[in-house]
Structure 1
Amino acid sequence: MELYERFRAGDIRALARAITLAESGHPLGQELLKRLRGHGQARVVGLTGSPGAGKSTLTDRLIEKARQRGERVAVLAVDPSSPFTGGAILGDRIRMMRHHQDPGVFIRSLASRGALGGLAGATVAALALLEAFGFERIFVETVGVGQSEVDIVRVADTTVLVLTPAAGDAVQAFKAGVMEIADVFVVNKFDLPGGERIVQELKTTLELAPARPGGWKPPVLTAVAPKAEGVDELFEAMDKHYRHILEQGLLNSQRLERARFEVESVIQEWGRRRTREGQGLIEQVAYGGLTPEEAAQQLLFSKG
């Protein structure tokens, strides 16, 4: 397979093509994934938070820090899907354009494609390809809406929740259940009014939270991304958490959970496709002819 050989030879265009094929579900992409999955090992860091929290600027600074350490870095920016085209918005890539000439950095936007949690199974497929290509650290920046914050923990080794002093930011985090899954908290834009207040709110809440696997205690950090303030501390906290999951033997279970998420995403996509094809059954549910369970069984288990 020519594309496979080019990929193994380090052709960045072959990597981009492979991700496109995998994202679209093309048979060639699936075959590449089977041959390449399991090659390489990267530290996968998920960054999530509300829109406007400064995730992209913070990611840009983390790229810079990783490159200073000689690491090859990739970024997957999971963007909202257009309901009409399914395409991704490229704003996150624009913010990181200063790295585009660095051969040690690869940045790619992926459409969430309406996945229930904002993350598509294609994200995990892209992670596998990036690992096989030799990237040592991969940042996954989520769309920051819906339940993507909850899904990211199933994909990343370390999950970073980015908050700001904006009124209501902490409250929304508490409501969404993110407090239970983030491994590192960072209050970005800490130079704005209310920074100390939200830090204290987070610390107080975390003191009452249940213990994490292996006894990990999530730190609450501060940052001002445009000035690179707090970036060194954030990077060290991410690495400390990664060392923790290695020492506690949690990495393998995390990788299994990532694969489970990918399989579930495929099943969800199959379900969406079948419901679009089964308009007659949907109408029967709407008018009381079938229960949702009966319609689902016919859609998922009928031949054709």
Structure 2
Amino acid sequence: MHEKVIEGILNGDRRMVARAISLIENQDPNKNKILSEIYPHTGKAYVVGITGAPGAGKSSLVDRYLETLRKQGLTVGVIAVDPTSPFTGGAILGDRIRMQEHALDKDIFIRSMGTRGSLGGLSRATKEAVQVLDAAGKDVIVIETVGVGQSEVDIIKYADSTLVVMTPAGGDSVQTIKAGIMEIADIFIVNKSDLAGADRTVSEIGMMLDLSENNKQWRPPVVRTVTLDSSGIDDMYEAIEKHRTFLMESGNIEKVRKERIRRDVLDLIEYQIKNTVWDQVSGSDEFEELVNQIMSRENDPYSAAAQVLQGVNLDQCKVF
């Protein structure tokens, strides 16, 4: 059955692309085989990440950006990550509602994904879904993160260009400077810039950039947008294209993608080892005894962890 899915992905079959992403999310036994087979056909799409605080207007920006990309004749894949309830395990997946006018466009594929407990604003399956859309021939892949605030920095592991979306009066200047999320931006977007305080927000970002030592090669531009009338969307598109040109001409795109591959391999190794340790240890009498010893302060977590690792048989680590 997976051969049919692989063939469908490579032919750009929307139904098979959707099925493949569902298999990935559900940890289907054929998932790794599919990803392995399509991997030689990836690496052509340009990945744009859009992140920022909840309510900043990320989904509306993506919606307008899609219109601009389609005017350029480009095919697009969108992965919109929504928060998963810690109580029910469900997710609203509302981004497809906001982008419904593109639903009938055969050259746009939109997929909402729940975080399913992953931190950092992204689903664990996000990068694998990107590979599917890449192999399916999409020119540009847009990832919209869940919007969790300052800690939402995982997007830099996936995107070639990262846009941080802010709004006027989104925080004072000290908050702006200290926020970790500000350090990952390739482009700053001040959305809803028709509101009072937009000039101050732009000024604060400029001050932060003047103090930063991270933009010697590339200084992130600050773009004002208003999604209600699409003002500034063309400027946003041009800023992304300029950053793309910079990455290509400077050779940084190769460094970024090589580091991404290195991280992916290590993440997969870590994931498999963690699962192996969990399978061998969780629920065992020996492990429960260690927990009891720690509870009574007869042992400590560090010594217990070392003891567990000494007894783990990594030869049982599952092969992909």
TM-score by length of 1: 0.90
Which residue in the other structure is 1:274 paired with?
278
Amino acid at match of 1:17: R
Residue in structure 2 matching 1:288, options 262, 285, 297: 297
CA shift for structure 1 position 170: 6.0
Which residue in the other structure is 1:134 paired with?
137
Map 1:113-128; keep pairs closer than 5 Å.
Answer: 113-128=116-131
CA shift for structure 1 position 299: 5.4
Q: Percent identity?
A: 46
Map 1:22-61; keep pairs closer than 5 Å.
Answer: 22-40=24-42, 41-61=44-64
1:119-170 per-position Cα deviation (integer Å, ceiling 9, x unaligned): 2331111111110000000110011115653211121000000000034176
Over 3 Å counting, the alpha-carbon distance change for 1:146 and 1:187 in structure 2 is closer
Over 3 Å counting, the alpha-carbon distance change for 1:287 and 1:58 in structure 2 is farther
By relative contact order (CA 8 Å, sep 6+), the higher-ranking structure is: 1
SS in 2 for 1:179: helix
Are residue 75 (structure 1) and residue 84 (structure 2) matched?
no
Over 3 Å counting, the alpha-carbon distance change for 1:205 and 1:296 in structure 2 is same
Q: Distance in 2 between matches of 1:163 and 1:58?
A: 12
CA shift for structure 1 position 264: 5.3
Over 3 Å counting, the alpha-carbon distance change for 1:94 and 1:173 in structure 2 is farther
Map 1:107-256; keep pairs closer than 5 Å.
Answer: 107-145=110-148, 149-168=152-171, 172-212=175-215, 215-256=217-258
SS in 2 for 1:156: coil
Q: For the Cα contact (< 8 Å) 2:151–2:180, is it kept in 1?
A: no
SS in 2 for 1:115: coil
Higher-Rg member (1/2): 2
Amino acid at match of 2:257: R
TM-score by length of 2: 0.86
SS in 2 for 1:185: strand
Amino acid at match of 2:218: W
CA shift for structure 1 position 237: 0.3
Over 3 Å counting, the alpha-carbon distance change for 1:17 and 1:9 in structure 2 is same
CA shift for structure 1 position 253: 2.2
Over 3 Å counting, the alpha-carbon distance change for 1:9 and 1:221 in structure 2 is closer
Q: Distance in 2 between matches of 1:109 and 1:171?
A: 34
Q: Distance in 1 between matches of 2:260 and 2:211?
A: 28
What are structure 2's unaligned runs of at least 5 residues? none
Q: Distance in 2 between matches of 1:178 and 1:106?
A: 28
Q: For the Cα contact (< 8 Å) 2:150–2:181, is it kept in 1?
A: no
Q: Distance in 1 between matches of 2:299 and 2:237?
A: 54
SS in 1 for 2:152: helix
Over 3 Å counting, the alpha-carbon distance change for 1:20 and 1:299 in structure 2 is farther
Q: Distance in 2 between matches of 1:87 and 1:261?
A: 29
Q: For the Cα contact (< 8 Å) 2:151–2:181, is it kept in 1?
A: no
CA shift for structure 1 position 26: 1.8
Amino acid at match of 2:131: A
What are structure 1's unaligned runs of at least 5 residues? none
SS in 2 for 1:33: helix
Which residue in the other structure is 2:5 paired with?
3
Over 3 Å counting, the alpha-carbon distance change for 1:201 and 1:43 in structure 2 is same
Q: Distance in 1 between matches of 2:189 and 2:296?
A: 50
Amino acid at match of 2:121: G
Q: Distance in 2 between matches of 1:156 and 1:112?
A: 17
Q: For the Cα contact (< 8 Å) 1:47–1:140, is it kept in 2?
A: yes
1:261-285 per-position Cα deviation (integer Å, ceiling 9, x unaligned): 4445553686489399357255544
How many matched pairs?
303
Over 3 Å counting, the alpha-carbon distance change for 1:296 and 1:230 in structure 2 is farther
Deviates more, 1:53-62 or 1:263-272: 263-272
